[in-house]
Amino acid sequence: MNIVILAAGMGKRMQSALPKVLHPLAGKPLLSHVIDTARSLSPAALCVIYGHGGEAVPAAVGADDIRFAKQEPQLGTGHAVMQAVPYLRDEAPTLILYGDVPLTTRHSLQRLLDSAGQDKLAILTVELEDPTGYGRIVRRQGHIVGIVEQKDASETEHAIREVNTGIMVAPTSRLKKWLTTLSSDNAQGEYYLTDIVARAVADGVPVVSAQPAAGVWETLGVNSKAQLAELERIHQRNIAGALLEQGVTLADPARIDVRGTLSCGRDVTIDVNCVFEGKVELEDGVSIGAHCVIRNARIGRSANIKPFCHIEDALVGAESQIGPYARLRPGTELAEDVHIGNFVEVKNSRIAAHSKANHLAYVGDATVGSRVNIGAGAITCNYDGANKHRTVIEDDVFIGSDTQLVAPVRVGKGATLGAGTTLTKDAPEGKLTISRAKQVSVEGWKRPVKAKK
């Protein structure tokens, strides 16, 4: 099949310089949702019609399998589809989608395609309690004979509740012919794509309909920030429902945001107000505390992520304990049973099994062995103002509180660094290394006092 996605609209009600179809839903542009669904149908040709925003749309979603056609000026939906004609193959039907209608499912589109076959015009329709603003489906003896737009509808037609979603499938050779006959002689002075229904009826082409599989929400478009927010909640509710069906425990299904893909094993528990971005994998038995943000990460079996943690581009080993208030930055790799406590930051570092940094520490550009204890206030000084340098801490090391390790530096196996040490040279294995100024008490010293006014 051919697929045409109409994405040229300005979106005045969005009150934004960003083209409407590029506003994000669940972390990616509205148009990207539609393109992903279109790709799932394996089209022979995929064409996006853009206009408002200039080259911003092709720049944002461009790919080798997409052809772009510019609609300028924008003279209606029929005029938009005309721009795609050079890319449409006559031997396959053409499916028309909208870049601001992001939640239509593959299942519903496949049903519509099946209804159309190779020679019918098929329209995705819904019935609304309040159809105001939508084109009405006009039937005679049960058969679709036309679509009338809101501004052109009679009083009788205004009462029709079955409406056009805009999504349709047409035999391509006939579609090209019908497009050449469209007129802008109507209330809006535009070329309506919906007028091809009357052309199909006149040519004896059957016009059929299909309903969305999951409900009206599949056909909802975005014209304002309020509608965008509504669709965001619908989408997140659908994701939460799928997670619950898989056996995930959600403290509150209304308070989770997935902005990418989230895969979960058995017996996973997620507390409230957590955000998952990119590709996140939670293995069996993982517990995620409240208010965590996790991006592009894998959390190992039975790990416990306590509240208010930020984890990005990181791997967390099985049975590890993270947080609360911990930050794992890109390049962090934790083995099993690692403890990263409150206000600890780890960046571009590998920490082996059973090691701990329980509070107030910075571990950056480091390789840390097994059974290492990193005390409060300890930091790796990895940056000299121009370049990053690596710290190596071998197995069974004990690092006292308030220690600075000035990289590049190595701490040998089983070594102990006394509290307050500033390490600028390698520490030998198995020994206590201390670097402190001599403690002095000054006789006769008095604390200054404020002068009297």
CATH of the domain at 304: 2.160.10.10
Tokens of 425: 């040279």
Residue ending a domain, among 219, 236, 269, is: 219
Determine, yes or no, domain membership for 452. Answer: no
Same domain, residue pair 254 and 199: no
Q: What end-to-end distance do the CA atoms of the chain give, in Å?
A: 89
Same domain, residue pair 387 and 421: yes
* Region of residue 389 (phi > 0: left; psi between -120 and 50: alpha; otherwise: beta): beta
- In the chain, the amino acid numbered 377 is G
Which residue range is the domain that position 364 belongs to?
A: 225-433
Same domain, residue pair 348 and 404: yes
Domain count, the chain: 2
Determine, yes or no, domain membership for 304. Answer: yes
* Per-residue model confidence (pLDDT) at position 125: 95
Residue ending a domain, among 219, 254, 276, is: 219
Determine, yes or no, domain membership for 450. Answer: no
Which ranges of the chain have pLDDT less than 70?
A: none
* Region of residue 145 (phi > 0: left; psi between -120 and 50: alpha; otherwise: beta): alpha
List the beta strands (DSSP E) in 141-255.
143-148, 162-170, 207-210, 249-250
Same domain, residue pair 311 and 356: yes
Active-site entry in 23, 52, 235, 359 = 359
Strands 162-170 and 249-250: unpaired
- The CATH number covering residue 204 comes to 3.90.550.10
Same domain, residue pair 166 and 293: no
* Per-residue model confidence (pLDDT) at position 10: 82
Same domain, residue pair 211 and 350: no
* Per-residue model confidence (pLDDT) at position 452: 85
Cα–Cα–Cα angle for 424, 326, 233, rounded to 5 degrees? 150
* Per-residue model confidence (pLDDT) at position 150: 87
Same domain, residue pair 311 and 202: no
Print the SS3 string covering 257-286.
EEEEEEEECCCCEECCCEEEEEEEEECCCC
Active site residue 359: yes
* Per-residue model confidence (pLDDT) at position 11: 86
Tokens of 64: 């080798």
Determine, yes or no, domain membership for 413. Answer: yes
Same domain, residue pair 196 and 241: no
Tell me how far CA of residue 364 lies from CA of 65, 208, 299, 305, in angstroms: 41, 63, 20, 20
Read off the pTM.
Answer: 0.91
Return d(Cα 367, Cα 380) in angstroms, integer: 11
Same domain, residue pair 97 and 245: no
Residue ending a domain, among 191, 219, 247, is: 219
